[in-house]
Amino acid sequence: MQKHNRTWLLILMAAATLGLLLFVVYLYTGYTRTGQSAASPTFDSQRAYQDVQYQTGLGPRTPGSQAHADAAAWIQTQLEDNGWTVDVQDTQAMGLPIHNITGKRGSGSPWIILGAHYDTRFVASEDPDPALRDQPIDGANDGASGVAVLLELARVIPQDLDKQVWLAFFDTEDQGSIEGWDWILGSRAYAEALTGQPDAVIVLDMIGDADLNIYMERNSDPELMGQIWDQAAALGYQSNFIPEYKYQMLDDHLPFAQKGIPALDVIDFDYPYWHTMADTADKVSPHSLDAVGETVLSWLLTKP
């Protein structure tokens, strides 16, 4: 009887070992329905926040400044180091230089462009102290936050993704209401030069506010907006992505929408430090970067 029990014990141990081995094999070689590894990529909000700090550490990235050139070179290096094909658009608008940067991966359809602007404003025109309104801003939220999310996505988007993805870093978005300048010059030049019809363009702007409240935006494509808001709710970020219309924005998504491309502006325009000297890295929250980054990443991985 004792020998019989030992035999069964050995059989059970062997079965358990086999089951464990099969589970390990599944983790390493299994695939989800999107064609990605069962171990899904994870957005690292702390790493994204470090990218915000790096950008603000360069100083205001105003067009023509050394900090602006340094930021552009850094963005390009980050893309190349993570296996993206980099394309640079050097052009002019209103006689002003435009330097747009794109990281490209994949081919075919769907073709998705994710964008953010990397320049910061020449003047703190909304600062409560009139003596500071002629100073350039750090742009931690208004500029650096969107760039940081895109660069972290550049690190975690799988190289074998079954779609075409472009990460677009727009120049000269934030200089409107300044003599000789205008708003969204970089994205206008980008959209004008674009050949073909992307399936979606999503712009991330001012998405790092510690008190993140992203409302639906009236110039955005309703279907695309619904998909992102639904994805955010599924991930538990429904308090950050509020399913109500509030603003109608002039932002980098507009030149694409005007070409008939489904375009979306993901923006928290209730940021109290907008265009002030207080738009600094301490006002940005890794949790907010995570809410946006995880939402866009999950949508991207599951979009057919």
The whole-number average pLDDT for the span 258-287 is 98
Strand duo 200-205 + 111-117: pairing: parallel
Contact call for residues 117 and 171 (beta carbons, < 8 A): yes
Mean pLDDT of 141-158: 98
Q: Is the pLDDT of residue 27 over 90?
A: no
**Residue in 190, 205, 203, 194 with CA at minimum distance from that of residue 93:** 190
**Residue whose entry in the numeric block shows the structure tokens 């794109």:** 102
In this predicted structure, what is the pLDDT of residue 13? 52
Tell me: pLDDT of 31 over 70: no
| Nearest of 197, 161, 191, 293 to residue 252 by alpha carbon | 191
CA atoms in the 13 A half-sphere facing the CB of 148:
32
Position 39 confidence tier, pLDDT thresholds 50, 70, 90: low
CA nearest neighbour of 149 among 77, 207, 195, 228? 207
Q: What is the pLDDT at residue 40?
A: 74
Averaged pLDDT, 131-139: 98
Question: Which class is domain 42-302?
Answer: alpha beta
Integer Cα distance of 228 and 219 in angstroms: 15
Is the pLDDT assigned to residue 209 strictly greater than 80? Answer: yes
The β-bridge relationship of strands 96-105 and 263-267 is unpaired
Confidence of residue 136 (pLDDT cuts 50, 70, 90): very high
Phi, psi of 143 (to 5 degrees): 135, -65
CA angle 185, 243, 143 (to 5 degrees): 30
